[in-house]
Chain A
């Protein structure tokens, strides 16, 4: 029971309190690029969550079970990015073959995910925080859902911003960044929620 509640803490911590996008600045490129519409943002979010959970699990296994015992941990970064890149390829092929409707909806985002720093970021943070296996899986899932949450809220705000009277110079990226800034202030309300 104790481990279960601990896993919930890990989940909430990475999904909300230490939200990857809003407090760790990970995955900013898709956050600014693919958040114009809510449904697009949601598609991207799902694809990221999917890949992030799988890669967090796999990189943990490779790091702890292969690289660390062999004292090859200096090859960590290369191994991580190779796992992520090949995972994305595999997932893309698998989804295209067996779930065509799913592929239609988020397949186009898959190649973009390789350079999404949120995924590599989560794998690195899991290593840095010294998480165990279950924690790593939960952190991968939570990180992905946190990303989806942030990007969908942003999509919603931007849909409405289209009707707002924004100064010409700030149109596009400028106002998006300022909106994101205000959102991080709101998310700061969560920090400190988890104690000891």
Chain B
């Protein structure tokens, strides 16, 4: 019985062993590279948000909810020339098609947004994925609409022509992407959530 089993399947067993070892060897070689690349990418986005020369460090804070549950928040502190200049938080929520993961940056007092960056999204190409667009010339992209925004009151999405984005620079109104109201609303909602979480975590 055992002999027959081995006769029939020795190739599969050997192959599985060899392949397993091969993959773990390659994984061992490449894993550090993958991790550094991911870190570099995040640092690049943080540098865009807080300006060059910024040093960021991952930190955690925790707070208790009203029903006594402990919530742990992982965030980044941004320092420049030894002075604290802001915080950043990675947060995800549901978008139009799939989850959206954002990096949201705040100033020290949590009064203004430093900006947002889209880390992961799978929105409809040509519509919802315009949340990732960069500004061009005079045209302000949806993402850059959040830059420097005051957090006095909850951010809201309004439907007006995209050319009026610069007119709404100082209030809480975010001009949506035309044709993708739901994606715009999802991002804004996630940013609002990030603000709430950050305020609770830092008790500010």
Chain B 11-40 interface 0/1 with A at a Cβ cutoff of 8 Å (1 = within): 000000001100110010000000000000
Which residue from chain A places its CB closest to the CB of B26 in the assembled complex? A74
B189 touches A129 (CB 8 A): no
| Given contact pairs A18-B97, A129-B99, A196-B186, A191 touches B124 in the complex (Cβ within 8 A) | yes
**Cβ B189 vs Cβ A192 within 8 A:** no
User: How far does the alpha carbon of A194 sit from the alpha carbon of B19 in the complex, in Å?
Assistant: 42
Q: B60: CB under 8 A from chain A?
A: no
Closest to A129 in B: B99
Would A75 and B20 count as touching, CB distance under 8 A?
Answer: yes
Chain B residue numbers with a CB within 8 Å of A18 are 97-98
Give the Cβ gap from A162 to chain B, nearest Cβ, in Å: 34
Say which residue of A74, A75, A78, A192 sits within 8 Å of B96 (CB atoms). Answer: A192
Q: Chain A: which residue is nearest B96 at the CB level?
A: A192
A195 (CB) vs chain B CBs: closest residue? B182
Asked if residues B20 and A196 are in contact (CB atoms below 8 Å), the reply is no
User: B93 near A: Cβ within 8 Å?
Assistant: yes
Taken residue by residue from 168 to 196, chain A's Cβ proximity to chain B (1 for < 8 Å, 0 otherwise) reads as 00000000000000000000000110111
**Chain A nearest CB: distance from B202 CB in Å?**
25
The yes or no answer to B94 lying at the interface (CB within 8 A) is yes
Q: Kindly state the separation between the CA atoms of A126 and B78 in the bound complex, as whole angstroms.
A: 34
Chain B residues, CB < 8 A from A74: 23-24, 27
B96 touches A196 (CB 8 A): no
Selected contact of A196 from candidates B23, B98, B189, CB within 8 Å: B189
In Å, the complex CA distance between A23 and B124 comes to 10
Considering the chains assembled together, what is the distance between the CA atoms of A191 and B124 in angstroms? 10
Given A75-B20, A78-B20, A196-B94, 12 new contacts (CB under 8 A):
A18-B98, A23-B97, A74-B27, A75-B24, A78-B19, A78-B23, A191-B124, A195-B94, A195-B182, A195-B186, A196-B93, A196-B189
